[in-house]
Structure 1
């Protein structure tokens, strides 16, 4: 049995994983502004933010989605076998992301199933992005398709 298949079989509904932390930097905020093209004063103007947020510029909510999905890639350990995301549902924005926050992701296995061809599987996971105070910043459910077995095993499954 291929290690990815064994890892998939070992997953249980409700199983939890937690990532390492990552501290958000001014560079993260700049990249987020550049990538999105969103230079709203809440992200880019310290003077504006002094009146609105106590002086802190806020990262884009969409940056939180990117963080959560990226940090969850290795949880559980399927990164080399990920084919792609299948869905992003029920995403909720709880609190703002701030430069200096140290965030981590909690991953809860919500569901799992093998596709009809038997060569791939879908793992549904609940992602919870938390800050250093354990506040829920964002959360939602993502489906991820993974390759089971080796390419040769997948091809032999397709022929049967």
Structure 2
């Protein structure tokens, strides 16, 4: 884990970072089902899945989200904290054995209601091993400014 202090003024629109890959396992799916109570057949019943268009068990969207976001947490900025996520979409299914990677791009910066903070939006894209996009969302950060905006 790497601590990287960045203030609002340090973020540049268009800057991106990319993670290494992570293979989704059956254990991931079973553990996630147990943690969330989501035992829908899409995730747990291989025989039922054979009768569906996707043909095999798929990872929970929330599993893809939590692993994907967790993969981006290799840098800790003590000057920022998460406000939440917007526009979350599951584009394609993720299957057991798929390897996902994440690309995070700074897509927007704006003022915050609190003058000592700025808002930074990171556009998050999760890809599978075939370079197909499987999930997208926007991560909203509140980031300390180097100087208080009320003094300008």
- TM-score, length basis structure 1: 0.76
Q: Confirm or deny that 1:18 pairs with 2:15.
A: no
Displacement of 1:97 in angstroms is 1.1
Displacement of 1:16 in angstroms is 1.5
Q: How many residues align?
A: 144
In the alignment, which residue of structure 2 is the partner of 1:152? none
Task: Tell me, yes or no, if the aligned pair for 2:44 and 2:57 is still in contact at 8 Å.
Answer: yes
RMSD between aligned residues = 2.5
**SS state at 1:62 partner:** helix
In the alignment, which residue of structure 2 is the partner of 1:28? 28
Q: Hey, which of these two has a bigger chunk of helix by percent?
A: 1
- Given candidates 131, 135, 138, the residue that maps to 2:135 is 138
Mind listing any 5+ residue stretches in structure 2 that lack a counterpart? Answer: none
Mind listing any 5+ residue stretches in structure 1 that lack a counterpart? Answer: 150-156
1:64-79 map, 5 Å? 64-74=64-74, 77=75, 79=76
Q: Deviations for 1:106-155, whole angstroms, at most 9, x for unmatched residues?
A: 1010123575353x553210000100001010101110234678xxxxxx
Report the Cα distance in structure 1 between the residues aligned to 2:34 and 2:126, rounded to whole angstroms: 23
Task: Tell me, yes or no, if the aligned pair for 1:13 and 1:109 is still in contact at 8 Å.
Answer: yes
Distance 1:58 1:123, change over 3 A: same
- TM-score, length basis structure 2: 0.80
Report the Cα distance in structure 2 between the residues aligned to 1:107 and 1:83, rounded to whole angstroms: 16
Displacement of 1:46 in angstroms is 1.3
